[in-house]
Copies of this chain bind each other. A is one copy, B any other.
Amino acid sequence: MALIVQKYGGSSVSDAQAIKRVAKRVVATAKAGHQVVVVVSAMGDTTDDLLDLAGQLAASPSQREMDILLTAGERISMALLAMAITEAGIPASAFTGPQAGIHTDAKYGRATITALIPERIARSIKDGHVAVVAGFQGINDFDDVTTLGRGGSDTTAVALAQALNADVCEIYTDVDGLFSADPRVVPAAHQLHRADFEETLELAAHGAKVLHLRAVEFARRYRVPLHVRSSFSDKEGTWISDGPAKQTLRGIVPQVALPSSKEYSVEAPIISGIAHDRSQEKITVVGLPDRPGAAAKLFEIVASVGANIDMIVQNVGISEQGRANVSFTLPEADARRTLQAISDAKDELSYRELLDNREIGILSLVGAGMRTNPGVSAKLFGALSEAGINIEMISTSEIRISVVTNLDELDDAVRAVHTAFGLDASETEAVVYGGSGR
């Protein structure tokens, strides 16, 4: 008997039929002898509908009331799912975030978990019930409900898995798992059967939308084994854990053999995959004085409006002696107020010009192989050059290289790089799938 935390996103519980399908899967897991805790998001478009209503009533609604409003969505889905599971043959009880013992700080809309005491959940599963928990929500010291912000339900699931010492945290989604690239862009993309936390973190941080960055960070810190898989099929998804795959995760034996690290051929570059991101914008400050403190002042202003910047490039002396151009990327949602703040500080910063480019895309190549393989960046730039794609900015980490391209060249760039690194399914299957063939 294993203890399994399963998380279902909004698309998995979009209507009564979908809820019944999830209930069937939960009951099958329980009938196989496992203890099951289910974390659920709001149904389909509920959150968007509620946001829309709020937008009609107030220009900038109070965050406290916004959290009360939005948590109604999970309240509905958790109650309905518990009813459906009970109807399908296993008693189920629904719990709000507060009832599940999820304590947070008081930052409405983007609260952080400060303590997790899942006493009622532990009691419920001990009594043979399935515990259905509302994702995305907790309670602060003022006895008010809070939301965990984007990716909150993934975080709830991983945190509960850690607190309950679960054997695995299964993240159900509408795709089969993590892929070497987005299959909608690269038809030859193949599914990853396993990944380690660092690779997954880089993929999540740079545009792969299957798993939320914050949940991966949590899982990595506490070594919670994750299994990302589809709620629409019974196929194995992607196992995410530390180092080589554990052959048995306390009873959760994978149905197919996992490739271990050594099964990767030295011939194939050791690349996990390619993430891409269309939601960033590039701001360039032209003609900033090239003196100590100028860049610091700029980024102080950017930080003061809470903008979340990703890549930064500074080119000294290109446009003019004693002046520098600084470019950085940030989420579109942060761009307007950042531009306003920089513009307001024009006299103080004494730059020449402020440029804004929304038409950019970011491609990130992720893989542990980069640490030791100096040929990776050469191959990357060669492939992009051959495909006629212009690179605007570059940034690297130990296991990632990201490049900024024109937005309309991004898809071509992803496909070219995918092919160049031998990731296309027909070429690499024998290697990646451990010799199991097609």
Chain A residues within CB distance 8 Å of chain B: 16, 19-20, 23, 50, 53-54, 56-59, 61-62, 64-66, 68-69, 71-73, 75-76, 78-80, 82-84, 86-87, 93-94, 96, 99, 143-144
Main secondary structure of the interface of A (DSSP, over half): helix
Q: Which residues of B contact A62 (CB under 8 A)?
A: 82-83, 86
Task: Tell me the smallest distance from the CB of A40 to a CB of chain B, in Å.
Answer: 12
Q: How far is the CA of A408 from the CA of B94 in the complex (A)?
A: 46
Q: Which residues of B contact A83 (CB under 8 A)?
A: 54, 57-58, 61-62, 65-66, 69
Task: Tell me the smallest distance from the CB of A269 to a CB of chain B, in Å.
Answer: 49
12 contacts between A and B (CB under 8 A): A16-B56, A53-B76, A57-B87, A61-B87, A62-B82, A65-B79, A65-B83, A66-B83, A69-B79, A72-B75, A99-B143, A99-B144
Q: Is the CB of B58 within 8 A of A69?
A: no
Q: Which residues of B contact A16 (CB under 8 A)?
A: 53, 56-57
Q: How far is the CA of A54 from the CA of B57 in the complex (A)?
A: 29
Report the copy number of this chain in the oligomer: 2
Q: Which residues of B contact A59 (CB under 8 A)?
A: 87
Task: Tell me the smallest distance from the CB of A155 to a CB of chain B, in Å.
Answer: 22
Task: Tell me the smallest distance from the CB of A101 to a CB of chain B, in Å.
Answer: 11
Q: Is the CB of B99 within 8 A of A80?
A: no
Q: Which residues of B contact A78 (CB under 8 A)?
A: 68
Task: Tell me the smallest distance from the CB of A128 to a CB of chain B, in Å.
Answer: 15
Q: Is the CB of B82 within 8 A of A75?
A: no
Which partner residue on chain B sits nearest A73 by CB separation?
B72
Q: How far is the CA of A54 from the CA of B76 in the complex (A)?
A: 10
Which partner residue on chain B sits nearest A87 by CB separation?
B58
| Cβ contact of A79, chosen from B66, B75, B86, B94, cutoff 8 A | B66
Quick one: which of A20, A66, A72 has the most chain B CB within 10 A? A72
Q: Which residues of B contact A99 (CB under 8 A)?
A: 143-144
| Cβ contact of A68, chosen from B53, B73, B96, cutoff 8 A | B96
- Contact A68/B57 with A83-B62, A86-B62, A99-B143 known, Cβ cut-off 8 Å: no
